[in-house]
Amino acid sequence: MQVHRGGLIAEINVTPFVDVMLVLLIIFMVTAPMLTQGVEVDLPETKTVETLPEDSEAIVLHVRKDGTVKLDKYPVELPNLAGQLRRMGLTKDRMLYLQADKEVPYGVVVKVMAEIRAAGLQKLGVVAEPEDAK
């Protein structure tokens, strides 16, 4: 507190507070776009695996260990996958199931998931076997 001729001045100096808030605002503005990038997937738990729906509308994308990709029964080249999914007229609310061999490299699965995301699909289910099936 400062002593003035008429007594004490009880004012708060807000300049340092404003400076800190502006720095924090800039930090959040720079880092927020980086946090939203990536592929969102709900990972399955092997203890409680739900069975794949038996209805004819379930679309399954198979990734084999030799690198071939099949959309239901039809082979698809990985660079053409997003275009093929768009041509099928799938909406973003439609569920697509991804079934990959366990020997498939992680990078290939990420590329497939990126193509699915590029097609505009939001819901992705991962097909797995329960631990008891071994």
pLDDT, tens digit, 9 for 90 and up, residues 25-47: 999 888 887 765 544 443 344 55
Q: What is the domain-level CATH number for residue 122?
A: 3.30.420.270
Question: Checking phi first, is residue 89 left (phi over 0); if not, alpha (psi -120 to 50) or beta?
Answer: left
Residue 51 placed within a domain: no
pLDDT number for residue 54: 59
More confident residue, 72 or 24: 24
Q: Taking 70 as the threshold, does the pLDDT of residue 133 lie above it?
A: no
64 and 6 in a single domain? The answer is: no
pLDDT-based confidence at 119, cuts 50/70/90? confident
Provide the number of structural domains found in the chain. 2
Residue 6 placed within a domain: yes
Domain enclosing residue 74, as ranges: 59-133
pLDDT, tens digit, 9 for 90 and up, residues 73-109: 788 888 888 888 888 877 677 788 888 887 888 888 8
pLDDT number for residue 40: 43
Tell me the Cα Rg of the chain: 26
Q: CB neighbours of 77 closer than 8 A, spacing ≥ 6?
A: 69
84 and 116 in a single domain? The answer is: yes
User: How many angstroms separate the CA atoms of 30 and 64, rounded?
Assistant: 40
Window from 15-19, 54-58, 95-99, 105-109 with minimum mean pLDDT: 54-58
Residue 68 placed within a domain: yes
127 and 69 in a single domain? The answer is: yes
124 and 63 in a single domain? The answer is: yes
Q: CB neighbours of 60 closer than 8 A, spacing ≥ 6?
A: 52, 72, 96, 97, 98, 99, 127
pLDDT number for residue 35: 67
Q: What is the mean pLDDT of residues 67-71?
A: 84
Residue 42 placed within a domain: no
Mean pLDDT over each residue of the chain, to the nearest integer:
76
Residue 18 placed within a domain: yes
- In the block, tokens 């776009």 appear at 33
User: How many angstroms separate the CA atoms of 87 and 116, rounded?
Assistant: 13
Identify the three-state secondary structure at position 79.
helix
Q: Which among 53, 71, 67, 52 is positioned nearest to 116, based on CA atoms?
A: 71
Alpha helices in 1-134 (DSSP H): 15-35, 81-87, 106-118
129 and 88 in a single domain? The answer is: yes
